[in-house]
Amino acid sequence: MPMTYEPIATTTLTTAQSSVTFSSIPGTYTDLVIVCQVAFVTAANEIRLRFNSDSGSNYSYTRLKGNGSSASSDRYSNDNHIHIGSPGNDAVIGNSINQINNYSNTTTYKTVVSRSNFTNRELIATAGTWRSTAAITTVYIDNSGGQNITSGSTFTIYGIKAA
pLDDT digits (tens, 9 = 90+) for 130-151: 999 999 999 999 887 777 888 8
Q: Mean pLDDT check: name the lowest of 98-107, 126-135, 149-158.
A: 149-158
Please give the pLDDT value at position 87. 62
Domains located in the chain, CATH noted = 3-162 (2.60.120)
pLDDT digits (tens, 9 = 90+) for 30-48: 999 999 988 766 655 678 9
Torsions phi, psi for 127 (to 5 deg): -120, 125
Question: Each residue of 123-159: b (16+ CB within 10 Å) or e?
Answer: bbebebbbebeeebbebbbbbeeebbbbeebebbbbb
DSSP state of 143: E
Q: Mean pLDDT check: name the lowest of 69-73, 96-100, 101-105, 132-136.
A: 69-73
